[in-house]
Amino acid sequence: MYIPKHFAVHDKEKIFEFVEKNSFCILFSNHNGSPEATHLPVVLDRDAGDLSGHFAKQNTQWTDIEEQEVLLVFQGPHSYISSSWYETNLSVPTWNYVAVHVYGTIELIKDKQEFLQTLKELVAKYEDANSPYHLDDTNEEYIQNMMNGIVGFKLKISKMEGKWKLSQNHSRERQQRVIDQLKQLPHDHAQQIARLMQQNLRGEQI
For the cut 90, the answer to whether the pLDDT of residue 190 exceeds it is yes
Q: What is the pLDDT of residue 139?
A: 81
Report if residue 189 sits inside a domain.
Answer: no
Q: What is the pLDDT of residue 94?
A: 96
For residue 193, tell me if it sits in a domain. no
Band of pLDDT at residue 52, cut at 50, 70 and 90: very high
Structural domain includes residue 145:
yes
In-domain check, residue 49:
yes
Query: How confident is residue 140, by pLDDT bands cut at 50, 70 and 90?
Result: confident
User: Could you tell me the CATH number of the domain that includes residue 68?
Assistant: 2.30.110.10
The reply to whether 192 falls in a domain is no
Task: Provide the number of structural domains found in the chain.
Answer: 1
Does 135 fall in a domain?
yes
State the average pLDDT over residues 53-77.
Answer: 96
Q: What residues contact 143, with CB distance under 8 A and at least 6 apart? A: 116, 119, 135
Confidence (pTM): 0.92
- E strand or H helix at 195: helix 188-201
Report the pLDDT value the prediction gives residue 78, as an integer from 0 to 100: 98
Beta bridge partners of 151: 55
Query: How would DSSP label each residue in 131-168?
Result: -S---STTTHHHHHHHGGGEEEEEEEEEEEEEEEESST
pLDDT tens track for 83-107: 999 988 878 999 999 999 999 999 9
- The boundaries of the domain holding residue 139 are 5-170
Neighbours of 106 (CB within 10 A): 19
